[in-house]
Structure 1
Amino acid sequence: MQNRNLTSRVFPRVLLLGLCFSPFVVSAKTIMIVGDSLSAGYGIQPQQGWVHLLQKRLEQQYPKQHKVVNASVSGETTSGALARLPKLLQTHRPDVVVIELGGNDGLRGQPPQMIQKNLANLIQHSQKAKAKVVIFGMKMPPNYGSAYSKAFENNYKVVSQQYKVKLLPFFMEGIAGNKQLMQKDLIHPNAKAQPILLNNAYPYIKGAL
């Protein structure tokens, strides 16, 4: 009888310990955003930015299952991000990499072929690190001419098809050209635009999880 009572007290504790250290416990997935000022939250408070809103939405829908790392830098180019990416991948070991880049390259008139090559390399590095990739497309203002704009926009379609990654065709959909949603420079979205950016991005990010 005494042994039976001892077993009844000890067994639940052993079972609990086994559950705590079970190899089937799921760790949080890391989503890393590699972008420019659109994701860095230029001109707005950090908590207003779409990346912060993404973390909040994920936490509400899937508590403690996701971690968002914002590796975005205002003014970033595809070349600059390519130089930073290996260290970022090593440090954060993301499950998903979101590439929101190319806009600054285009505004500086960089050759579309160079932009495409850099985007391809960013994807390749991420995939070699076992991360799923989502890429956000951008568009150029009309004054850059139709030939350059078409070549620029086509870059995103080409690399997404070549490397079989999810493509959001135009990250600024519903925002670009709307002065009420833009800052005074008419380049950067304001705080009101951030929930729209999140709604544009969320289905593609969720689909990669």
Structure 2
Amino acid sequence: MRTLIVTFLLFFSSVSFAQKKLIILGDSITEGYGVSKEAAYPAIFEKKLHDAGKKEWTIVNAGVSGSTTASGISRMKWLFKTKPDVVFLALGANDGLRGLKVEESQKNLATAIEYAQKEKVQVILGGLYMPPNYGKDYTDKFAKMYEDLAKRYKLTFIPFILDKVAGNPKYNLADGIHPNEEGHKIIADTIFNALKGKL
């Protein structure tokens, strides 16, 4: 009987009752274009969380190359079938690079955020900047878009997820847009440092 009880306790002590899921909804940067899935920042971020003792977290890489903010709501509805606890919105780079209207991008992100909040899923917003060659007016409006959304919906906000990476050839592939493996490590550090006390 004692052996049975010990076995029972060992079994249940090995089962986590508090598994949590965070989905990173992004584009080719999140997907890890040009690097292996294991070298992309979502996988590195998950490892950093586990190393910090937060082993209950599973990070889902939901990056799709070419995605714009317009895809956010439909993808979110599909992904939410897996019942995540948190969604990290990292969309908008392709909107900016295509010169799409900031007002439309903001409306798309707002729709996705409102849906997530209605579904009781915590939203973390990852901001992005546009290169200066897009003009000061556009780049300022683009950066302010994320700030306004974070303030309006009271979101946990990382102003620039590509901090120290964007524009630095040392941390990007030859295309100058997508991070290399070293760049992804820096992105993971930025996100981990911003969220380690909030997850």
- 1:17-32 pair list within 5 angstroms: 26-32=17-23
| Cα deviation, residue 85, structure 1 | 1.0
Aligned-residue CA RMSD (Å): 2.1
- Tell whether 2:86 aligns with 1:96: yes
**Corresponding letter in the other structure for 1:66:** W
Find the residue that maps to 2:63 and give its secondary structure.
coil
**Corresponding letter in the other structure for 2:32:** G
The answer on whether the counterparts of 1:134 and 1:205 sit within 8 Å (CA) in structure 2 is no
- Percent of pairs with identical residues: 37
**Corresponding letter in the other structure for 2:17:** V
**Corresponding letter in the other structure for 1:44:** V
**Corresponding letter in the other structure for 1:83:** S
Which residue of 74, 78, 81 corresponds with 1:87? 78
Q: Deviations over 1:39-89 (max 9, x none)?
A: 100011111111111121222222641111111111111111222111111
| Number of equivalent positions | 197
Find the residue that maps to 1:71 and give its secondary structure.
strand
The answer on whether the counterparts of 1:50 and 1:195 sit within 8 Å (CA) in structure 2 is yes
| Cα deviation, residue 37, structure 1 | 1.0
What is the match of residue 162 of structure 2?
A: 172
Task: State TM-score, norm by structure 2.
Answer: 0.90
Q: Deviations over 1:108-129 (max 9, x none)?
A: 1111111111111111111122
Q: Deviations over 1:148-194 (max 9, x none)?
A: 11111111000100000011111111111211111111111111111
Moved more, 57-66 or 27-36: 57-66
What is the match of residue 115 of structure 1?
A: 105
Task: State TM-score, norm by structure 1.
Answer: 0.86
Greater radius of gyration (CA):
1
CA distance in 1 between counterparts of 2:153 and 2:7 reads: 44
Ranges in structure 2 where 5+ consecutive residues have no aligned partner: none
- 1:1-209 pair list within 5 angstroms: 26-62=17-53, 64-90=55-81, 92-209=82-199
CA distance in 1 between counterparts of 2:144 and 2:126 reads: 12
